[in-house]
Amino acid sequence: MTRAFAFLFPGQGSQSVGMLSELAAEHPVVRDTFSESSDALGFDLWALAQDGPADKQKDTRNTQQLMLASGVACARVWQAQDGPAPVAMAGHSVGEFAAMVASDALSFVDAVNLVKQRAELMADAVADGVGGMAAVLGLDDDKVVAVCAEAVQQMTASGDATGPVVEAVNFNAPGQVVISGHLSAIEVASGLAKAAGARKVMPVPVSVPNHSALMRPAGEKLMPAIDALDWHLPAVPVVQNVAATLPADVGEMLESLKVHVFSPVRWTQSMATLVEQKGVELFIELGPGKVLTGMGKRIDKTRPVYPVFDSGTLASALADARVSDTAQQDA
C-alpha cells in the first residue's frame, strides 16, 4: 500500500518577526516571491516579515499578505527541490488563497491583489478595537456553539442594544474551537466557556473578527472582484473551508470563496475529507510556524504532519515525501 500526502497552508496567527529568514538564506525563490508581492502591493513585504514590528504584522491588511506570500514561497521552494506532487491541498482561512495559487487555480499576482482588497474590506468592516477572536480549548464543538448563543442571549437580556455578535467560526481540532465577534461578547463567552469547563481561552493575534457575521458586508463587497478574475479548476484538488469538500467545478469553487470571509472554517472536516476522499496519509504544512501541525496531531495521531519553514524542516518533509513517492513508483 502506498502513501499519499497533502499540502496545508496556514492562515492568520502563524506570522512572526523574522519568519522564513533561514529558508530565504538558502533558497532565493523565497525573496523573489516576496519581491513579486511587494511590487504589486507598493511596499516592502519582506522587510515587514523580517523586522516587524509584531503589532504591524498583526494588522489584517499586512497579515493576510504575509501568509499568502509565505505559503506560495514555501511551495515554490518545494518545487525547486523537485519535491513530489501532493494528491491534494487545503489552506486554513486566508491560506486557502495560497492553496489556489499553488494548485494553479489563480495567478499569484491576481491573488495578491484580491487578498489586498479582501483585507482592506475586512479591516474597514469593523472599527479598530471593536472585534477580535479567541481560541477555546477543552470543550466540544457543540458546547462552544451553545456558549456563544448563551453569551448573546445574556447581553441582549441585559439591555445591550448593539446587536452583540460572538460565534464559533474555526473548528480547528477536537477540543479546539475559535470564537469571533465583538470583543465585549467574546469576553462574556470566554467567561461562560471557562465556567463550562474550558481548559483555556486565549486571544488570537488578529485585528478583525474573521469568519463572523460582522464580516458579511466585506464579503458581499468582495464578490464582484472574485468574479472578475481568471480562475481555473485546481490542477491539484483543493478542499475548501466552507463545506470541507472538493469543488466539482469552477462555479462551485467560486461560490465557496464568495462566502468565505463570513463563514466558518471547518478544518477538522477538511482534514477528514483529505483522508477519506484522497487517501492522504501524510500532511506537509507550508509556511511559518507549526499551527496546522499541532492541529493535525490533535485530529489524527496516526498521520504525520511535517512543518516546512526552514532548511531542516524542509529536508525532513522531503525525505519522507520522497520515500512515499518511491513507494508509489515501485508499486
Q: Which of 37, 38, 70, 93 is catalytic?
A: 93
- Helix or strand (DSSP H, E) at 113: helix 108-125
262, burial (CB in 10 Å: exposed 0-12, middle 13-18, buried 19+):
buried
Domains observed in the chain: 5-125+214-330 (3.40.366.10), 131-206 (3.30.70.250)
Residue 95: what pLDDT? Answer: 98
Q: Could you confirm whether 270 is annotated as catalytic?
A: no
Peptide bond into 53 cis (omega under 30): yes
Contacts of 66 (CB under 8 A, 6+ apart): 15, 19, 45, 48, 49, 57
What is the DSSP annotation of 165-182? -EEEEEEEETTEEEEEEE
Residue 151: what pLDDT? Answer: 97
Residue 324: what pLDDT? Answer: 56
Residue 99: what pLDDT? Answer: 98
Strands of 238-239's sheet in order across: 238-239, 88-91, 5-9, 282-286, 305-308
Residue 1: what pLDDT? Answer: 35
The Cα 188–Cα 207 span in angstroms is: 19
Residue 149: what pLDDT? Answer: 98
* Amino acid found at 163: G
Q: Which of 37, 211, 212, 263 is catalytic?
A: 211
What is the DSSP annotation of 96-110? HHHHHHHTTSS-HHH
Q: Could you confirm whether 93 is annotated as catalytic?
A: yes
The Cα 101–Cα 70 span in angstroms is: 12
Question: CA distances (Å), 87 to each of 4, 101, 102, 280, in order?
Answer: 6, 15, 12, 8
Strands 131-137 and 166-173, sheet pairing: unpaired
Question: CA distances (Å), 127 to each of 63, 134, 291, in order?
Answer: 17, 18, 28
Q: Which residues of the chain have pLDDT under 70?
A: 1-2, 324-331
pTM: 0.94
